[in-house]
Amino acid sequence: MTSSIVAEDYGRLIVQGADRPGIVSAVSAILAGHGANVVALDQSTSDPAGGRFFQRTVFHLPDLPSKLPALGEALDAKLVDELGLTYRLVEARRHKRVAILVSKMDHCLLDLLWRQRRGELRMTVPMVISNHPDVGDDVRQFGIPFFHVPVEKERKAEAEKEQLNLLKGNVDLVVLARYMQILSGGFLDELGVPVINIHHSFLPAFMGAGPYQRAKERGVKLVGATAHYVTEDLDEGPIIEQDVIRVSHRESARDLQRRGADVERLVLSRAVSWHCDDRVIRDGNTTVVF
């Protein structure tokens, strides 16, 4: 997508659901009927016979804000009521509000803040929350509020409540930028917005503790990272993006970790960027990335 598609009157329409004949045509007719011009359209079906339907449409509609209600009504009637689909209608000019949760490691956090400052990410960052005070100064130099919410074992529920107080209603996305605490299922439910996590990855995978040491011990030649949506099954949610970097026997376990950090920040920033542009459609435990 060209970067000029961010002005006042651009909208994005994401449609998904059970596939059936006529969806693309129905969406096109509605958009055209309301005076919208399609700028980019990606459509995909998981299986031509009885599969899932996904469509992302970027359109230009003069005076979009005033026309959204009528457009929404038409989409409700046709797509939801008649065709049994779900949809999201988004104004491109409204940047997603993204809170970043972080512990002590700052490589993913700083990469996101820098890119945001450079205009690479169509998001605002209303707050950074950490269970440690360490990165506070760095965050505040970007002019972003920093909140320290300690998460000792005995006050985890209290801490989550505190985090929810800060987050609820204020953000559209939460990014775990190497946040080393497990979020409870209750927290995710209560939060009500998507959460993206970054996770180291190996070929083949080394689950559990000390993955870099164990990778070293088996002589892995690639280290990688996976960005995924967080579900209650820790580290098992739908994958948004992955990448790898080459290593050799010359690298110590600690070196592997450093190379891994390079991949982590690249992969996380891509995943966040795509999410903010509504390019990622989640379907059960998989994703479609347009």
How many Å apart are CA 66 and CA 146, to the nearest integer? Answer: 36
Residues 97-116 that bind a copy of itself (CB under 8 A): 106-107, 110, 114
Q: If residue 263 lies in a helix (H) or strand (E), which one and from where to where?
A: helix 253-276
Label the pairing between strands 37-45 and 123-130.
unpaired
Closer residue to a copy of itself (CB): 1 or 68: 1
In whole angstroms, what is the distance from residue 24 CA to residue 91 CA?
20
Residue 235 appears among annotated catalytic residues: yes
Q: Which of residues 118-157 bind a copy of itself (CB under 8 A)?
A: 118, 120, 141
| Distance separating alpha carbons of residues 280 and 99, to the nearest angstrom | 18
Q: What is the size of the binding site for a copy of itself (CB under 8 A)? A: 80
- The residue annotated as part of the active site, out of 235, 243, 255, 283, is 235
Contacts 24+ apart (CB under 8 A), 146-155: 151/181
Between CA 176 and CA 172 the distance in angstroms is 14
| Residues 255-284 contacting a copy of itself, CB under 8 A | 255, 258, 262, 266, 284
Interaction with a copy of itself in 28-67: which residues (CB under 8 A)? 28-29, 31-32, 37-49, 55, 60
Q: Which is nearer to a copy of itself, 162 or 255 (CB)?
A: 255
Stretch that binds a copy of itself, among 19-27, 128-136, 146-154, 156-164 (CB under 8 A): 19-27
- Determine, following the binding rule CB under 8 A, whether residue 3 of this chain makes contact with a copy of itself: yes
Q: How far is the CB of 60 from a copy of itself (least distance, A)?
A: 6
Helices (H), 82-239: 107-117, 136-141, 156-167, 185-191, 211-218
Distances (CA, A) of 6 to 64, 156, 186, 250, 279: 13, 40, 35, 46, 14
Tell me if 74 contacts a copy of itself by CB under 8 A.
no
User: What is d(CA 97, CA 166) in angstroms, rounded to the nearest whole number?
Assistant: 13
Angstrom distance (rounded) from CA 124 to CA 122? 7
Site string for a copy of itself, 201-240 (x = CB under 8 A): xxxxx-x--------xxxxxxx-x-x--------xx-xxx
At its nearest, how many Å lie between a copy of itself and the CB of residue 282?
A: 9
**From residue 171 to residue 200, what is the string marking binding to a copy of itself with x (rule CB under 8 A)?**
----------------------------x-
Interface with a copy of itself (CB under 8 A), residue from 130, 163, 197, 287: 287
- Annotated catalytic residues are 235
